[in-house]
Amino acid sequence: MPNLEKTLSSPKFQKLAVYVVLSFFVIFIIIPTLFVFSAVFMNWNTVVEWVFNDPIIGDARFQFMQLTLIRSFQIAFIVTIIDIIIGLPMAVILARSNFRFKQYLDTMVDLPMVVPTSALGFSIFLFWGTSSGISGLLGLESGIFSPGPMLVMMAHVAFTYPFIVRSLKAVIEEIDQRLEYAARTLGAPTFTVFRTITLPLTLEGLIAGSILAFTRSLGETGATLIVSGVYETAPIVVVTWRKLLQIPPAAFLSMILVIISVILLTAMRVLSRRFGIPLKRIYPKPEKLLSSEYARKMRNIMTFLVFLGIVFIPSIYTISYAAVWWNGSPYTGRIEAGVYYQVFLAPDNKWEKLLSALGTSLAIATLTTIINFTLGLPMAFLLARRKWGRVREIIDSMIDIPLAIPTSALGFSIFLFWNRTLHLFSTGFWLILLVHIVFTYPYMVRPLIAIVESIDPEIEEAARSLGASALTTFRTVTLPSIKSGILAAGIMTFTRSLSETGATIIVMGIDRTVPVLIVDWVEAQALQAASFASLILILISYVSLVIIRHITKE
């Protein structure tokens, strides 16, 4: 064993490992992600004919693209503004206040981020869009919102809310509180201190969180499929055209979405440090009133109630629906309308389909996590330890590209690369796996980089100075010190793979994962079965979130 580890630690093998890791990153992550550009330009004449000069409908598809892109931008912009308004107070509470059950509230804020969007979208549809939700309590016979733009916005607010809160909370916690104390000792009211000192210092987190929320809303597919009705956004159109085998216009629209996402990702990196929040005059009396203990308590109560009513309860309402409908219809008492009958006793074998889809989901998520860990951990070490200068910055920036791109566009680009161009993988399990490896890669590598950077290099140097090889040092010193972080990154990757809908629909063929099965059952109006499948995903997501929080706390 020592001789083998010494051999594998030689410069020759280390150089080979670097080539393997970088080759995997380029061939399996970057090229398939951006291949849509090449596909469009190589088939430009066909794209022009389909998009701009169709012999029957002319440029109708291009006009429709513009309409759906405008819709997507409008939804994302409004959602981001709402997130900032309701998320900023929550970030301040979590960063600056100490109270009983704070850790539970902190976990509740993250839940919509880890729940699969198809399950979350279905839950929000039940809460806002059916008589079984909030409208039933109000005595209404139909949902408050019908499928369409309002329901899309409610769904997008719920799953983008954590991005704003997390980004702002992290920045606020890093602010030196002595600056705030100094201002208060000079007589400034609490609200004035927040507006003139704390808020300007949170700009970086505000911009980063806003762009993350905007891109997440812009690219969302799973939840939107369930709540949009006939109201189509750009990612939904990519899915629709892919199903109809209208490949050229789908490729062109995917390319536009990729361009927009890369621009927004670049903006997040560049703008956050270049702009400030303008400070204008102070309003002593109103700000003193807003700084009172009563005003502070009312703000906290309203923040919590808004979070419960708009984000948390709608996100998990499936649990209540499944419980009420478990043994039959609460309105007619019909057993055949119950969750138990629909899933386990109905003649169409939904339970077997759910087990098959769950097996596929778990297998793909497991393989995705193993592969990304195997090749993602060495990449994290390369970026954390190698002094490559500008090359390192470029690679580091490219890692986040799959994170920002709408998953339907990402899945379509990968579909074009492996299926339509190289003809190496047919639609189904293995192509789903390739897609999941790509969009979860940043979820594995990005946390691992931070973990590796936190290790004191002198500890490893001490081991090597005592004669240990590089591999022995990693196995006996480095790995034990980062195992908790690795487990957290692995669970995060696993959960993200388990939750994906949009990219999976593009490449799935006849195979089904649980998120896709939920979409199928909602479209078929099998709401009781969909609620049971959603319940399973919510429980898995919650357990994963609790484990991650426990690990990171340790």
**Nearest-angstrom CA–CA distance, 289 and 297:** 13
CA–CA distances in Å: residue 388 to residues 266, 271, 319, 398 = 21, 24, 50, 15
Does 242 map to a domain?
Answer: no
**Please, what's the largest Cα pairwise distance for the chain?**
77
3-state secondary structure of 220: coil
Residues 318 and 359 in one domain: no
What predicted TM-score, i.e. pTM, was given to this entire model?
0.88
**Nearest-angstrom CA–CA distance, 105 and 86:** 15
**Nearest-angstrom CA–CA distance, 503 and 346:** 30
Asked whether 503 and 436 are in contact (CB, 8 A), the reply is yes
pLDDT lower than 70: segments of the chain:
1-9, 183, 186-187, 268-291, 458, 460, 463-464, 466-471, 552-554
Residues 397 and 504 in one domain: yes
Residues 494 and 526 in one domain: yes
Q: pLDDT tens digits, residue range 462-482?
A: 766 766 666 677 777 777 777
Residue 202: the pLDDT is 77
Query: 54 φ, ψ to 5°?
Result: -65, 130
Asked whether 223 and 407 are in contact (CB, 8 A), the reply is no
Per DSSP (E only), the strands in 345-402 are none
Q: Where is 322: in which H helix or E strand? A: helix 313-324
Residues 382 and 518 in one domain: yes
**Nearest-angstrom CA–CA distance, 57 and 178:** 65
Residues 296 and 413 in one domain: no
247-271 and 234-243 helices, crossing angle to 10°: 150
Residue 7: the pLDDT is 63
Residue 193: the pLDDT is 74
Residue 177: the pLDDT is 75
Paired with 58 in beta bridges are: 54
Does 96 map to a domain?
Answer: yes
Does 250 map to a domain?
Answer: no
Q: DSSP assignment of 7-76, as one string?
A: HHTSHHHHHHHHHHHHHHIIIIIIHHHHHHHHHHHHTHHHHHHHHT-BTTTBTHHHHHHHHHHHHHHHHH
**Nearest-angstrom CA–CA distance, 382 and 211:** 28
**Nearest-angstrom CA–CA distance, 221 and 242:** 13
Residue 516: the pLDDT is 94
Residue 268: the pLDDT is 67
Q: Residue 101 belongs to what domain range?
A: 72-236+279-324
CA–CA distances in Å: residue 85 to residues 400, 512, 513 = 27, 38, 35
Residues 180 and 99 in one domain: yes
Residues 374 and 451 in one domain: yes
Q: Which two tokens stand for residue 428?
A: 């189904």
Q: How far is CA 485 from the centre of its chain?
A: 19
Asked whether 147 and 159 are in contact (CB, 8 A), the reply is no
Residues 189 and 293 in one domain: yes
**Nearest-angstrom CA–CA distance, 15 and 25:** 16
Neighbouring C-alpha atoms within 13 Å toward the C-beta of 347: 0
Residue 139: the pLDDT is 76
Residues 357 and 290 in one domain: no
Residue 201: the pLDDT is 74
Residues 32 and 85 in one domain: no
Residue among 88, 80, 74 nearest 213 (CA): 80
**Nearest-angstrom CA–CA distance, 518 and 532:** 9
Residue 282: the pLDDT is 60
Residues 289 and 182 in one domain: yes
Asked whether 427 and 415 are in contact (CB, 8 A), the reply is yes
- Which residue intervals of 115-176 are DSSP H helices? 117-129, 134-137, 149-174
**Nearest-angstrom CA–CA distance, 431 and 364:** 10
DSSP code of 336? G
- The helices-and-strands tally (H runs, E runs) of the chain is 31, 0
Residue 285: the pLDDT is 65
Q: Which two tokens stand for residue 408?
A: 């339907």
- Which residues are CB-neighbours of 245 under 8 A, at least 6 positions away? none
CA angle 165, 166, 168 (to 5 degrees): 65
247-271 and 203-219 helices, crossing angle to 10°: 170
Number of domains in the chain: 2
Q: Which two tokens stand for residue 78?
A: 């409004």
Residue among 205, 140, 145 nearest 171 (CA): 205
**Nearest-angstrom CA–CA distance, 214 and 26:** 27
Residue 66: the pLDDT is 93
Residue 114: the pLDDT is 82
Does 202 map to a domain?
Answer: yes
Does 76 map to a domain?
Answer: yes
CA–CA distances in Å: residue 453 to residues 309, 482, 484 = 40, 11, 15
Does 537 map to a domain?
Answer: yes
Does 65 map to a domain?
Answer: no
Q: Which two tokens stand for residue 136?
A: 């039933």
Q: Amino acid letter at 469?
A: S
Residue 501: the pLDDT is 92
What CATH number is attached to the domain comprising 399? Answer: 1.10.3720.10
Residues 286 and 434 in one domain: no
Does 329 map to a domain?
Answer: no
Residue 368: the pLDDT is 96
Q: pLDDT tens digits, residue range 7-63?
A: 656 777 778 888 999 999 999 999 999 999 999 999 999 999 999 998 888 999 999
